[in-house]
């Protein structure tokens, strides 16, 4: 009988501790105030989370090298879909640049092409709220002498003038 009393007392203490912990979490959560973020510049990871903006993950088509992907965060909310296209052989775009083009069959689709190395596998693209400023980030990759292209087709919910698209390629690390 004494053991039942000890168990009941322990259960009551556990309930009190849980309630106290939950109250502390609630108080801390209510006190946190997010800081405002700039409206027109893409700031991947610093001011936005994947839960805030639509995200897409695209498996890039590659002819050589390791499997490559790009994770897209759309701060404009206008990207309808994204897919990869088969690149040509080698590298056709100067290192550090992104070539933009239109898809003649679809005025809502633009084509981004950039060159890298076969070990260049993890990319992050942030589309700014204006829908035309874009930041593509990739980790530094060295040691590969063969250049490769990556091709990404972005389809928006409206026609896009590819000449107004301003993509920037940033190599991290």
Question: 89: how many CB neighbours lie within 10 A of its CB?
Answer: 11
Residue indicated by tokens 């801390």: 28
Specify which residues 101 forms β-bridges with.
111
The whole-number pLDDT of residue 70 equals: 97
**Would you say 89 and 63 are in contact if contact means Cβ atoms under 8 Å apart?**
yes
The whole-number pLDDT of residue 51 equals: 53
pTM over 0.75: no
- In 3D space, the residue among 137, 141, 119 whose CA is nearest the CA of residue 66 turns out to be 119
The whole-number pLDDT of residue 35 equals: 28
Q: Retrieve residue 41's tokens.
A: 């510049």
Half-sphere exposure of 131 (CA within 13 A, CB side): 17
pLDDT tens, residue order, the chain (173 aa): 444 344 444 444 444 443 333 333 333 332 222 223 222 334 444 444 545 899 999 999 988 778 899 999 999 999 999 999 999 888 899 989 999 999 889 999 999 999 988 888 899 999 999 999 999 999 888 766 788 899 999 999 999 999 999 999 999 98
């Amino acid at each position: 009988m004494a053991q039942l009393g000890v168990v009941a007392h322990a259960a009551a203490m556990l309930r009190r501790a849980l309630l106290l912990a939950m109250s502390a979490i609630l108080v801390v959560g209510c006190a946190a105030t997010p800081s405002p973020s700039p409206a027109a510049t893409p700031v991947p990871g610093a001011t936005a989370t994947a839960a805030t903006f639509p995200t897409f993950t695209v498996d890039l088509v590659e002819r050589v090298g390791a499997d490559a992907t790009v994770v897209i965060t759309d701060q404009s909310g206008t990207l309808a879909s994204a897919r990869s296209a088969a690149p040509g052989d080698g590298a056709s775009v100067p290192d550090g640049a992104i070539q933009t083009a239109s898809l003649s069959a679809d005025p809502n689709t633009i084509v981004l092409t950039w060159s890298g190395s076969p070990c260049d596998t993890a990319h992050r693209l942030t589309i700014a709220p204006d829908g035309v400023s874009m930041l593509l980030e990739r980790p530094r990759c060295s040691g590969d002498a063969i250049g490769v292209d990556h091709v990404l087709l972005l389809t928006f919910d409206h026609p896009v003038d590819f000449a107004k698209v301003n993509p920037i390629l940033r190599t991290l690390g």
